[in-house]
Structure 1
Amino acid sequence: MFGALQLSFWGAVLVCAVAATVLAVRRHSTPDPAVRAPDPVFWDVFMGSAVALPAILIPTLASPWFGVVLAALGAGAGVAAYRGSPQILAWQERRRQLRLDRPVNTAAQAEHDALLARWSRYELDPASCIDYPAMTDVRLPETSALIRAMKEAEQLRAVPHQGYAPAVVRFGAALAAAERAAGIPAGITAVGH
């Protein structure tokens, strides 16, 4: 009974140490020479082996077969971690990119809301519809481009995406171009009708 508990404990320690070491080595050994640094890879291997070797050697003192089982378990964990590490690293990179993009997307959402409010004035205000009918006439190229840019920004808003902020910028530029083409004075677009 005690041997099974010891094997289970050291097996769990070994699997975790090997998997963490392989993942750390894969993260730090990049083909990009500007980012590559051999020192972190050395320390990753050193710390991983400082945990993995005792996890194999200590149970081997109790029974040589434990050492064989743990060595096979460690090799299997290393292969599994090596094969699975690209997906894990890609997942971590996506999460990091989402964290970096969050402030940009928040600012883009605020700008998008302001642009939609500005556009809705031409759609919902009867006086603006009468004064500037070109803003709702999709046969005009500027208004058609505005509607396409508005649709693109709205579609990208639903999913966190790197293309959302540039789409909002294109929406703002298309709205400004449509306002110029409709003959709307610049002061009216900012303060309202």
Structure 2
Amino acid sequence: MFEGLLQGVWALVLAGPVLAASVAATVFVVRRRVLAPAGRPEGSDQVFWDLFLGACVAVPAFLIPTLVSPWTGLFLGAAGAAAGIAAYLGTPRYLARRAARQDLREQQAAHLAAAAAHDELMARWRRYELDPACSIDYPTLTDVRLPETSALIKAMRTADQLRTASHRGYPDAVSRLADSLTAAERAAGIPVEQA
């Protein structure tokens, strides 16, 4: 009896983690495929193969120790069921956190690119404001009575406010600033190659 108990414990220690990991991984992969966004269709054929491969690991990890010691099968079945339930319930939260991290990384990259473009646009604008030759040649770029220049100043203010707040709409505000600056330069009669 002691020998059977010892074999059961060894079977439980060796096969338990394998069974729990294979069940959890299979449930996670299948659940991820089922919850895939609409733009990424996952075929039922792929789900079948995920289940098949998971079963190729889980079934032997369950059956072999159960044949060695029947009471081990009870514990292994409970461990496999617990791992499957935990993976089933945890997958949506994990995927949501991963998507949020990805969204944050994309937002930060877009913010950095917009900040670089914003700096270039402001350097371009300062040339007309601070360079005496440009101010004399194109005085309309500093005249806020003109609608194009007024729109440019408003776009500058909006982009500056959204930059300091790290707002999601900052890249769009920088695009509007670029369009406004181009429109103001066009209205001032600045040749395209000079702008």
Give the TM-score, by structure 1 length: 0.70
Contact 1:146-1:171 at 8 Å conserved across structures: yes
Distance 2:143 2:14 in 1: 71
Shift in alpha-carbon separation, 1:54–1:167, aligned structure 2, 3 A: farther
Matches within 5 A, 1:59-98: 59-94=65-100
SS class of match (1:41): helix
Deviates more, 1:143-152 or 1:90-99: 90-99
**% identical equivalent positions:** 42
Contact 2:115-2:163 at 8 Å conserved across structures: no
Shift in alpha-carbon separation, 1:9–1:155, aligned structure 2, 3 A: farther
Q: Hey, what does 1:142 align to over in structure 2?
A: 151
Aligned positions, number: 186
Give the TM-score, by structure 2 length: 0.69
Distance 2:154 2:13 in 1: 65
Distance 1:135 1:9 in 2: 78
Q: Hey, what does 1:184 align to over in structure 2?
A: 188
Distance 1:147 1:105 in 2: 16
**What whole-Å deviation, never above 9, does each CA across 1:35-72 have from its counterpart, x for those lacking one?**
24110111111111111111111221232222111111
Q: Which runs of 5+ in 1 are unaligned?
A: none
Shift in alpha-carbon separation, 1:123–1:154, aligned structure 2, 3 A: farther
1:94 to partner: Cα distance: 5.0
**What whole-Å deviation, never above 9, does each CA across 1:153-190 have from its counterpart, x for those lacking one?**
6358x58x6x554343222112223445xx53322x75
Distance 1:89 1:50 in 2: 26
Report the aligned-residue RMSD: 4.0
Shift in alpha-carbon separation, 1:119–1:12, aligned structure 2, 3 A: farther
Contact 2:140-2:188 at 8 Å conserved across structures: no
Q: Which runs of 5+ in 2 are unaligned?
A: 1-5
Deviates more, 1:17-26 or 1:127-136: 127-136
Contact 2:111-2:170 at 8 Å conserved across structures: yes
**Pairing 1:52–2:58 present:** yes
Larger Cα-atom Rg: 2
**Pairing 1:11–2:20 present:** no
Distance 1:122 1:16 in 2: 65
Deviates more, 1:21-30 or 1:98-107: 98-107
Shift in alpha-carbon separation, 1:11–1:122, aligned structure 2, 3 A: farther
Distance 1:148 1:10 in 2: 64
1:18 to partner: Cα distance: 1.4
Shift in alpha-carbon separation, 1:13–1:124, aligned structure 2, 3 A: farther
Matches within 5 A, 1:164-179: 165-179=171-185
